[in-house]
Amino acid sequence: MTGDEMIAAAARLLNSLGTSDLATLEELLHEQVVLDWPFAARGMPTMFSGKRAVIDALARIPDIFDQFEMTANALYPSESSATLTIEASSAGRFRSGGDYNNVYVLLLQFNGGKLALWREYYDPRRVQFPDDPTII
């Protein structure tokens, strides 16, 4: 994959998170995709394996947020490893009330034009679910 192709796929990915466009997410993901949150908030899973598990987890975004947007601030493609590293930020509002803002480093690795590894580092202290800490 070229750097431009990885960047275009990442733009679609981030946009689909904010709009809860599961059809686009499904189109972008490899069948054996792994979503890895190494520093997930307490009570949250740290890893989802397989397209269905990832889609099911991300389908919960509208249950958690009234609004959510993730913005890529810097992109670092590596064509030789089909990897894109992204510095990103997010803004949103919890359904239970309160604003959500976070910063991220995402490592996206592609296989056959599909997202195969999605490793997302974020500040887990900013993730608070007052009503249900195990919402995902």
pLDDT tens profile 28-51: 999 999 999 998 877 788 999 999
Question: Using an 8 Å Cβ cutoff, are 44 and 134 in contact?
Answer: yes
**pLDDT at 128 (0 to 100):** 60
Residues 6+ apart with CB under 8 A from 31: 50, 51, 114
Q: What global pTM score does this model have?
A: 0.88
- Look at residues 114, 116, 63, 120 and name the one whose alpha carbon lies nearest to residue 90: 120
The runs of H, that is alpha helices, within 32-99 are: 51-58, 61-64
Q: Reduce the DSSP state of residue 23 to 3 states and report it.
A: helix
Q: Which domains does the chain have, with CATH numbers?
A: 3-126 (3.10.450.50)
